[in-house]
Amino acid sequence: MQLPTRPRLVLLDLDGTLTDSAPGIMASMRHAFGALGLPVPDDAGLRSMVGPPLQVSIAEQGVPDELSDALIDAYRAEFRREGMLGGNSVFPGVPEALDALRAAGLPLAVATSKPQVFARQIAEHFDLARHMVGDVEGVFGADMDGGPRATKAAVIEHALTSLAARGLDLREHPQDVVMVGDRSHDVHGAAAHGIATVGVAWGYAEPGELEDAGAVTVVRHPDELAALIA
């Protein structure tokens, strides 16, 4: 898979790509495990939960199926209360990178495994939404509970379908779209649609994770993005 010479759309992950959300997510998850009397994963385990769909992360920590819903509820309550904004920040260099991509005339949209309702609040709070196609309406995320958008591939499909309804229809032209993300599920979700991924090294991937997943390349700093894909 190759990067397009001139993309017609750039899809951006949120956690670990635009925002450093690990402190808030880890603290909220630590609280949730403790509230249910479950063994709290160590920091490495908690950090591994940042980015992938929540149900996948919980299963990987060995949480029994019958407790997963309660754990998610406890996590989200604490995340809303404190972790979503209080334990979150924009990575240095990201605002400038978004400015450069927009200045180059590239349409941008967020495609994240985070619930869409949370993602849009975060994007607005940190002044990221203004860079996206349709402002906050260009921020696409997962369903909150039990809906069909439970995977990154499903979120990307939702983004492409929604943008098509607004006149930016690239569903039959995946070679003109680029995904930018920090975890393997970003790469795999994009690949399911024939979309190439640029990995970012400042996020939460393990060493070699993005390359092994099939990212076309990995950039080390946000200022490399515009030079690479604009």
The residues annotated with a catalytic role in the active site are 13
Secondary structure (3-state) at 141: strand
Length of the chain: 230
* Cβ-contact 215, 2 below 8 angstroms: no
For 111, phi and psi rounded to 5 degrees? -130, 105
* Cβ-contact 183, 203 below 8 angstroms: yes
Task: For residue 153, count other CB atoms closer than 10 A to its CB.
Answer: 18
d(CA 83, CA 77): 9
d(CA 55, CA 58): 5
Secondary structure (3-state) at 149: coil
* Cβ-contact 151, 143 below 8 angstroms: no
* Cβ-contact 191, 210 below 8 angstroms: no
> Residue 19 carries which DSSP code?
B
